[in-house]
A = this chain, B = another copy of it.
Amino acid sequence: MIDKCLGAQRSRKIQRALRHCKVTIICLVLTLVVLRGTIGAGKFGTPEQDFIEIRDHFYSRKRAEPHRVLEEVQTTSSNNHAATDTDAGTNNYNEFDINKILVDEESDDSKLDRNRPYSLGPKISDWDKQRSEWLKENPDYPNFIGPNKPRVLLVTGSSPKPCENPVGDHYLLKSIKNKIDYCRLHGIEIFYNMALLDAEMAGFWAKLPLIRKLLLSHPEVEFLWWMDSDAMFTDMAFEVPWERYKDSNLVMHGWNEMVYDQKNWIGLNTGSFLLRNGQWALDILDAWAPMGPKGKIREEAGKVLTRELKDRPVFEADDQSAMVYLLATQREKWGDKVYLESAYYLHGYWGILVDRYEEMIENYHPGLGDHRWPLVTHFVGCKPCGKFGDYPVERCLKQMDRAFNFGDNQILQIYGFTHKSLASRRVKRVRNETGHPLEVKDELGLLHPAFKAAK
């Protein structure tokens, strides 16, 4: 009797196993077919192959519902500013008025406040003139600190609250040290923000009021370089090719086709970008902001973006998707001054970089800034400060340590040291002390780099 039962059990087990195998094989075949269909399309050039690699890597690991809502900082009483200047009747919102979009969609939501559209501040229309007069009157604060060397302010920041994940603040600390090192070598000043200037624009949108405030307060700043706290410099020797951007006002890593043709939500990245101080910057900030206000507006705008952009998951409006949408729908207005840079990693998605560091060390050298030695490794989705990232925590933290050490080694070698390994906090000596330290040339020439010397 028992034997008979065992036999029946075994038979069921075998059947179950066979079913699982069938399902697995079907999935495998489908994956191959889709992959073949995509890669085999053949119409993408080299830079777009980067994009494909990134996209496929990105989607295979991201959870279906990304938690892109970053820390909601404290709320304060509403700081909404109605446009108070005489130029209030702007055209900026016409093509991209979220309120208008929602009306067109016949939304029944009467709670939307369409009477006071969000504004970053009083409309300014003569900023170029105000700024150039100020620069003339203040020759001690020039906007260029050398030939081809604009004055740059790197802006970053984090929440004023301790991280929910205790180790998160340690990584924020390492991240700012990393930025301090790069900026010291390259003559760039840093502004580290920990204040929420506008409660409506919390989370990833908080950078907009901050950027506007800093541009208007610091006319001597030619370029504002926004950089996320989860982005690190991994090429200490690479100087941004400022000359390349002499006719551009906004530089982001991305690909024209991905943005203008595909409207892909990751066709560009707003985690590390350059914005030239001027009227144009104020205008694009004003055009960018409307999807940001917390609550219903941001929610509804998120739905629009998911619908309008390629591959975008469902979540509230984020600044990056909004920028893609803005550029894709108003190319004639902004496009000529936007440089989508893919020749080097102004932003480098960590997923396709961090496992290759040893290979880079073996085959290349700092100063290249691109896939061979990325300027920036950006840990999108890791969120070490919060509770929920899009990737396994261990993988993120381990790779952030490696990226930090990869960059830090370039600083340490100046002084004759290096990390024992990319995984190790410990350092070892690689160059002996000498009685003639000034005859020592560090290999990378970072001790007294040309791009830092006062001219």
User: Counting CB contacts under 8 A, is A363 at the interface?
Assistant: no
Per-residue interface assignment for chain A, residues 419 to 450, with 1 indicating a CB less than 8 Å from any chain B CB and 0 otherwise: 01000011111000111111000000001100
Other-chain residue from B141, B195, B412, B437 in contact with A195 (beta carbon distance below 8 A) = B412
Chain A 175-199 near chain B by CB (<8 Å), digits 1 or 0: 0110011001000011110111100
Q: Would A76 and B426 count as touching, CB distance under 8 A?
A: yes
B166, B173, B437: which contacts A158 (Cβ < 8 A)? B173
Flag whether A314 is at the interface (Cβ < 8 A): no
Partner of A134, one of B166, B433, B438: B438
- Decide yes or no whether A161 CB sits under 8 A from chain B: yes
Closest chain B CB from A121 CB (angstroms): 4
- Write out the residue numbers on chain B whose beta carbons fall within 8 Å of the beta carbon of A145: 454
Tell whether A74 pairs with B194 under 8 Å between CB atoms, given A436-B130, A437-B217. no
Complexed CA–CA distance, A195 and B414 (Å): 13
Is the CB of A47 closer than 8 A to any CB of chain B? no
- Which chain B residue has the least Cβ–Cβ distance from A433? B121
Take A195-B427, A217-B447, A428-B76 as given contacts and tell me if A433 and B170 are in contact as well, using a CB distance cutoff of 8 Å. Answer: no
In the assembled complex, A216 has its CB within 8 A of some CB on chain B: yes
Question: Is A169 within 8 A of B161, CB to CB?
Answer: no
Given contacts A141-B454, A197-B417, contact A448 B162 (CB under 8 A): no
Residue from A177, A189, A447 having most chain B Cβ neighbours under 10 A: A177
Which residue in chain B gives the minimum CB-CB distance to A414? B217
Q: Could you mark each residue 120-142 of chain A with 1 if its beta carbon is under 8 Å from any beta carbon of chain B, else 0? A: 01111000001100100010111
Asked if A368 CB lies within 8 Å of chain B CBs, one says: no
Contacts of A197 in B (CB 8 A): 415, 417, 427
Tell me the complex Cα distance, A420–B79, Å.
Answer: 14
Interface membership of A8, Cβ < 8 A = no
Report the separation of the CA atoms of residues A121 and B433 in the bound assembly, to the nearest whole angstrom. Answer: 6
Contact of A122 among B76, B169, B220, B433 (CB under 8 A): B433
Decide if B189 touches A434 in the complex (CB within 8 Å): no
Known contacts A160-B425, A195-B427; is-contact A122 B435 (Cβ 8 Å): yes
Is the Cβ of A184 less than 8 Å from the Cβ of B174?
no
| Known contacts A166-B166, A189-B184; A194/B217 CB under 8 A | no
B177 touches A180 (CB 8 A): no
In the complex, chain B residues whose CB is within 8 Å of the CB of A160: 425-426
| Max chain B Cβ within 10 angstroms of own Cβ: one of A130, A220, A417, A426 | A426
Contact B448 A141 (CB under 8 A): yes
A22 at the B interface (CB under 8 A): no
A81 close to chain B: CB less than 8 A: yes
A405 to B116, CA, bound (A): 33
A178 nearest CB neighbor, chain B only: B192
**209-236 of chain A: CB within 8 A of chain B:** 213-214, 216-220
Nearest to A397 among chain B residues (CB) is B162
Provided the pairs A140-B454, A162-B167 are in contact, do residues A435 and B123 lie with their beta carbons within 8 angstroms? yes
A87's nearest neighbour on chain B, judged by CB, is B435
Please tell me if the beta carbons of A180 and B167 are within 8 angstroms of each other in the complex.
no
How far, in angstroms, from A142 to B454 measured CA to CA in the complex?
8
Instruction: Determine if A85 is an interface residue (Cβ-Cβ < 8 Å).
Output: yes
Q: A81-B433, A454-B140 known; A194 and B180 CB under 8 Å?
A: no
State whether the Cβ of A103 lies closer than 8 Å to any Cβ in chain B: no
Q: What's the Cα separation between A435 and B428 when bound, in Å?
A: 55
A453 adjacent to chain B (CB < 8 Å) = yes
Residue of B nearest to A405 (CB): B160
Contacts of A138 in B (CB 8 A): 448, 453
Interface centre among A121, A142, A160, A219 (most CB of B within 10 A): A160
How far apart are the CA atoms of A141 and B436 in the complex, in Å? 19
User: Which residues from B are CB-within-8-Å of A190?
Assistant: 180, 184
Shortest CB distance A332–B (Å): 28
User: What is A's interface to B at a CB cutoff of 8 Å?
Assistant: 74, 76, 79, 81, 85, 121-124, 130-131, 134, 138, 140-142, 145, 158, 160-163, 166-167, 169-170, 172-174, 176-177, 180-181, 184, 189-192, 194-197, 213-214, 216-220, 408, 412, 414-415, 417, 420, 425-429, 433-438, 447-448, 453-455
A-B pairs, 6 with minimum CB distance: A166-B166, A140-B453, A169-B169, A160-B425, A121-B433, A162-B170
